[in-house]
């Protein structure tokens, strides 16, 4: 039986007494790209961190490629490539060493060759032997994207991946997400750029009030209607 690559059901998360996620439901099938919109503080990062195994939920279920993230955490994590809000690189290691280190953790086969490929994909091959500390913000973001692709995950989770990228970086990212989905992978990304949600996704969701307040096929959306829903969520 084939599973959705991501299945979230009644997911809840509180910080202290404050409920941040109040029962989020979402399914992402192979080949789909989903954009997640939401105001500052809506819980987008919290949601992605739970999916990536970096925060514990207080209720609900999450399955990644059919694997329960609580009970089959390690296997589930291997199916995910995560681009966090911050690049989280090892500053003293070179660009290549950062990837090789990660490659060892994930038992990537032929890690150097794979690293070469992903660095080329993000346009960073020329910097392979430079220390991560010498990278600009956008270059560090490119490396974080390369690292997320290294172990050929089925589900890509990206928290504001468009942050800090120049025009070329944005175009590379768009192409990577499209190719990942065309190859049968799935993508869930957050953004504050409406045009990126509209252009890069098959489905668009809006997180508001701790729930998926809005979820539609992107091509059926009028840009104005998402913007309006977003603005209503801010009130």
Smallest separation, CB 94 to ligand ATP (Å): 30
What x-and-dash track marks residues 87-126 binding ligand ATP by CB under 6 A? ----------------------------------------
Smallest separation, CB 10 to ligand ATP (Å): 18
Residue 128 interacting with ligand ATP (CB under 6 A): no
Give whole-number Cα distances, 12 to 23, 58, 61, 77, 154, in Å. 5, 5, 9, 20, 24
Within a 10 A sphere around the Cβ of 99, how many other Cβ atoms? 26
Smallest separation, CB 130 to ligand ATP (Å): 29
| Residue 118 or 207 having the CB closest to ligand ATP | 207
| Residue 42 or 79 having the CB closest to ligand ATP | 42
Half-sphere exposure of 159 (CA within 13 A, CB side): 19
Instruction: Give residue 166's Cα distance to chain centre.
Output: 19
Beta bridge partners of 134: none
- Reduced to 3 states (helix: H, G, I; strand: E, B; else coil), residue 18 is strand
Smallest separation, CB 128 to ligand ATP (Å): 31
The position carrying tokens 């150097």 is 112
H or E, element range at 185: none
Smallest separation, CB 164 to ligand ATP (Å): 14
Within a 10 A sphere around the Cβ of 196, how many other Cβ atoms? 20
Smallest separation, CB 39 to ligand ATP (Å): 7
Q: Which of residues 28-57 bind ligand ATP (CB under 6 A)?
A: 38, 40-46
Residue 157 interacting with ligand ATP (CB under 6 A): no
Give whole-number Cα distances, 57 to 26, 48, 175, in Å. 15, 11, 32
What x-and-dash track marks residues 11-30 binding ligand ATP by CB under 6 A? ----x----x----------
Site for ligand ATP, rule CB under 6 A: 15, 20, 38, 40-46
């Amino acid at each position: 039986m084939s599973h959705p690559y991501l299945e979230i059901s009644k997911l809840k998360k509180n910080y202290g007494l404050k409920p941040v996620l109040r029962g989020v439901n979402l399914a992402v099938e192979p080949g789909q790209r989903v954009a997640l919109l939401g105001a500052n503080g809506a819980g987008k990062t919290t949601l992605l961190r739970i999916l990536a195994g970096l925060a514990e939920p207080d209720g609900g279920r999450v399955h990644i490629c059919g694997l329960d993230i609580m009970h089959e955490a390690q296997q589930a994590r291997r199916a995910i490539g995560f681009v966090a809000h911050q690049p989280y690189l090892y500053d003293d290691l070179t660009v290549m060493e950062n990837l090789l280190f990660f490659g060892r953790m994930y038992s990537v086969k032929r890690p150097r060759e794979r690293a070469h490929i992903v660095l080329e994909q993000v346009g960073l091959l020329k910097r392979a032997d430079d220390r991560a500390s010498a990278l600009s913000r956008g270059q560090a973001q490119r490396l974080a994207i390369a690292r997320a692709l290294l172990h050929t995950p089925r589900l890509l989770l990206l928290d504001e991946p468009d942050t800090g990228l120049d025009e070329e970086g944005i175009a590379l990212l768009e192409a990577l997400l499209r190719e990942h989905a065309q190859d049968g992978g799935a993508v869930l990304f957050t953004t504050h750029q409406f045009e990126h949600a509209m252009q890069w996704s098959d489905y668009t969701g809006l997180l508001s009030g701790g729930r998926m307040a809005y979820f539609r096929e992107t091509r059926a959306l009028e840009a104005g209607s998402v913007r309006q829903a977003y603005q209503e969520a801010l009130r």
